[in-house]
Structure 1
């Protein structure tokens, strides 16, 4: 198993862990330590991987950071009624170049995916999402990314990759594996109008902060269709975090970001989850505890997964057909969970990207809208993207 790029969890974290109650999460994890090496991944469902790389941050001025405070906070939490095993595989250190770090992360994620382990990546700068995406080149034909962020991070793809422009690289570099990209919680004043227009032109999905805050359940169908979830800590409002982490007075509060994380965990498709843009500071308790709770809720979500998307057995679902503007919309509702899907017509005469995307997760509200003659926006964008 190719996990040679990982260095063990620091001794000071392990010493702190020894002082905790036997019931805490830290005592139940399989931990990569100097003494025992990399743990056996048999029966492990999720693995934490730290990446100490932030050189492609546009504001990088040579600062180093560690993840020990986050680990201490996480280890001290009590697990839920969970049936899956979680490992902490330690950290990928900075490579000679950033490209070396990307390679190390990519190879590590490939190994974990091949072993059906979900990586939980704790990172420096968010451009590491690019390496995460590239790990899927031979894993899935088309990839859906959800970015929880105040920015789209499109940037200028003709320039070297940075944490505010990694999406441009993902869209334009071969092999082209990106099918859908969704941003949750974008704030209009942080994004150029040209970028907002481009997101629209590419039929990508973008949900404003106010939209998501007003109805957090919007997140669920978006996450249900995601393979990679990338969370930028700058999407959290400054009141919730420590000094260096403060970015904007507006953003998600602690409860919302944990709910989003849980929705990511519940999704049967999400196979990697990353938290980025961590900035360590002396008064770090609030940030490290919030990140620990975000991870806790993701693990909780994975433990609550239900396989409800098998539509081969007729007693497992209900089917509804609605006619809107001469277009037949077909909805499915799971009897087990009450979750909804909408069918995207298969356009066989085209070079079709949608071999496995014929059912799109949606909400009950989309069905209600269709009954009123309104075409659901998610369906329209997926249909258009499939027709391009």
Structure 2
């Protein structure tokens, strides 16, 4: 498939790039330019992809935006001790309709994921996560989405899709490929009690801002189990971003959002990352730099991925069996990384979503809870979803 719907990185950004030191990221990545066309993807592990689409923003009043400031900030950073090759494929511009943009984004992500290239999508409104999800329709049977957001964005699926209601469409539109949806950093006062109750009834994971800020490590198993990570910049507190980006005095700080991004990168399952709701303003340097650092930490994480979830080699893991309320719980611990998993049993008599025993990432604390006769909450939710 060709990517002829992609527009190149602007000449202004490329001119700025020429002034950077040779060691800077912008001098080391393959860039889609007018002069050289779309870069060859052979050997590329990560690709930046802009989407200039915000018409389904609930507050859209016709304003345009571009991603030039983010690119300038990102190109000026220095890489870590990385072995990955990165490309910048330029932008998908607004289609004739929003559905056209969705189709272009879905097609691009599908091709990249099949080529084992991880797209890092920078965009306008977060409803584009729906197109990101649909890109997996023919790739894997069940999809896990993690949304870093102050809101659940479930909304009313009977109404047209918006950036505050796209999750309802993901849940209810066929084909039904969603297995788990998790929200990290939600703030209760931004969500109706009905939506909070619905998250509970659907056995989805939801972590409040206070819990995430108190112990950032609790999000690691959630991100280890994700295929798609969607970051809403509105989840970041106002003091960390530029004027137009400010949503709430409370939210994740710069260190927390970068830690979450790094956990997403380290996850062997995450195969696409979206950073949404970018709203440029005249004092844009802080937001552009924060987004650049979010991308940097994600790439850093990808460079430190360790294949520790293949449990065929008995020497690579330890196995622990506990009994909780007559239920046998089986835990695995990787000897290489110290990360933990718990087995979700396969129920042959139930028309379940999982077709085999599945391992759910968990924490050492979950194992300790099981030893103290407490069923880990995430195991219970996954088990219930499997029975539905």
Give the superposition deviation at 1:348.
0.9
> Which string of whole-angstrom CA distances, capped at 9 and with x for unpartnered residues, describes residues 17-60 of structure 1?
00000000000110000000000000000000000000000000
Match of 2:296 in 1: 296
Match of 1:229 in 2: 229
Measure the CA separation in 2 of the matches of 1:197 and 1:352.
Answer: 23
Q: Is the 8 A contact 1:261 1:298 kept in 2?
A: yes
Q: Is the 8 A contact 1:13 1:72 kept in 2?
A: yes
Measure the CA separation in 1 of the matches of 2:200 and 2:72.
Answer: 42
Q: Is the 8 A contact 1:319 1:333 kept in 2?
A: yes
Match of 1:192 in 2: 192
Match of 2:316 in 1: 316
TM-score normalised by structure 1 residue count: 0.99
Match of 1:62 in 2: 62
Match of 1:359 in 2: 359
Measure the CA separation in 2 of the matches of 1:184 and 1:15.
Answer: 38
Match of 2:125 in 1: 125
Match of 2:24 in 1: 24
Measure the CA separation in 1 of the matches of 2:142 and 2:302.
Answer: 22
> Which string of whole-angstrom CA distances, capped at 9 and with x for unpartnered residues, describes residues 156-207 of structure 1?
1000000000000000000000000000000000000000000000000000
Which sections of structure 1, spanning at least 5 residues, go unmatched? none
Measure the CA separation in 2 of the matches of 1:195 and 1:229.
Answer: 21
Q: Is the 8 A contact 2:346 2:357 kept in 1?
A: no
Change (3 A) 1:259 1:357: farther
Q: Is the 8 A contact 1:5 1:108 kept in 2?
A: no
Q: Is the 8 A contact 1:3 1:111 kept in 2?
A: no
Give the superposition deviation at 1:297.
0.3
Which sections of structure 2, spanning at least 5 residues, go unmatched? none
TM-score normalised by structure 2 residue count: 0.99
Measure the CA separation in 1 of the matches of 2:218 and 2:120.
Answer: 23
> 271-280 or 349-358, which moves further after superposition?
349-358
Give the superposition deviation at 1:351.
1.5
Match of 1:158 in 2: 158
Change (3 A) 1:357 1:245: farther
Measure the CA separation in 2 of the matches of 1:356 and 1:37.
Answer: 45
Q: Give the 3-state SS of the residue equivalent to 2:329 in structure 1.
A: strand
Give the superposition deviation at 1:352.
2.1
Q: Is the 8 A contact 1:2 1:111 kept in 2?
A: no
Match of 2:329 in 1: 329
Match of 2:273 in 1: 273
Give the superposition deviation at 1:363.
0.3
